[in-house]
């Protein structure tokens, strides 16, 4: 199999790298700091050990980690044939990463943007070859979610689409074809729900526990919207809502002040140990 690059060793990047390696891909996982990469390897070990308990397959952590090479900086991706970018939804950061990827990667490298809200055509406009850029919105946790959104940009070529579909098939993912629009399908709906649920807590209408119990108990959802926010990351939720608000200029996407305060306070959910709930 071709060497697959993964940019960003946060929650999503870890899941993507693990999924590719479990399917037999050789993976190069990069980030800006060696400490982040060390934490990522430890997280993959934990995820593999917990997989069976969470209803997933038995995974050999040593075997999976043996297929993952970690490196600081994007220069290590120069030999990859296809890669997945998973950096934060902050446009300035994402644009800078894609500008560098455009210089580092070979002309035939397919660049997949794993974004929850930023339009793919906007991302592709940063580089000289927008035809090789495509969006794939992986769901969290990546190894447990069998379906993704597949989003071609305005210039994405048929070859790029074909190669991306082949990659997804190789890791057992199905895809839903979605046109390029901020938030796509999933987050154009989900982020509104989470944002409004945060407003209920912010306005004192209900506690986070009560909001989530309504969705679990009344609607049969496995998780409430604020539990989901903690799983995704409260900061990621905020950035995604801000992208929607900027793109559509519609007041229905106004970010809840509580999300801003929690993000500033470092209450980012599961990954920080505290969000709408506290985690041990």
Residues recognised as catalytic: 137
Pairing of strands 147-152, 133-137: antiparallel
Neighbours of 253 (CB within 10 A): 22
Non-local (6+) Cβ contacts of 124 within 8 A are 130, 131, 133, 153, 154, 155, 156
Q: How far is it, in rounded angstroms, from Cα 33 to Cα 134?
A: 26
Q: How far is it, in rounded angstroms, from Cα 28 to Cα 77?
A: 7
Non-local (6+) Cβ contacts of 38 within 8 A are none
Neighbours of 211 (CB within 10 A): 21
Under a CB-based contact definition with an 8 Å cutoff, are residues 136 and 83 in contact? no
Q: How many CA within 13 A on the CB side of residue 238?
A: 19
DSSP symbols for 168-234: HHHTT-EEEE--S-TTTTHHHHHHHHHHHHHHHHHTTSS-HHHHHHIIIIIT--SS-HHHHHHHH-H
CA dihedral of residues 190, 90, 121, 252 (deg, nearest 10): 40
């Amino acid at each position: 199999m071709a060497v697959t690059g993964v940019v960003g060793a946060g929650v999503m990047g870890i899941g993507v790298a693990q999924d590719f390696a479990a399917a037999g891909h050789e993976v190069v996982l990069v980030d800006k700091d060696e400490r982040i990469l060390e934490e990522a390897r430890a997280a993959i070990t934990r995820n593999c050990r917990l997989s069976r308990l969470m209803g997933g397959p038995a995974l050999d952590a040593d075997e999976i980690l043996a297929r993952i090479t970690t490196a600081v900086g994007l220069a290590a991706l120069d030999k990859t044939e296809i890669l997945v970018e998973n950096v934060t939804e902050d446009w300035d950061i994402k644009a800078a990463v894609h500008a560098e990827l455009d210089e580092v990667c070979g002309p035939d490298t397919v660049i997949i943007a794993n974004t929850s809200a930023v339009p793919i055509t906007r991302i592709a406009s940063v580089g000289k070859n927008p035809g090789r850029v495509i969006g794939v919105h992986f769901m969290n946790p990546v190894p447990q979610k069998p379906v993704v959104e597949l989003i071609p940009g305005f210039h994405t070529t048929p070859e790029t689409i074909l190669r991306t579909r082949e990659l997804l098939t190789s890791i057992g993912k199905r895809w839903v074809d979605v046109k390029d629009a901020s938030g796509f399908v999933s987050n154009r709906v989900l982020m509104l729900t989470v944002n409004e649920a945060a407003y209920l807590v912010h306005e004192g209408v209900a506690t986070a526990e009560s909001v989530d119990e309504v969705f679990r108990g009344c609607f049969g959802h496995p998780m409430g919207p604020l539990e989901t926010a903690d799983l995704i990351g409260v900061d990621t939720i905020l950035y995604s809502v801000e992208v929607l608000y900027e793109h559509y200029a519609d007041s229905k996407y106004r970010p809840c002040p509580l999300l801003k305060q929690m993000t500033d306070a470092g209450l980012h959910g599961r990954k920080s140990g505290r969000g709408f709930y506290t985690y041990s």
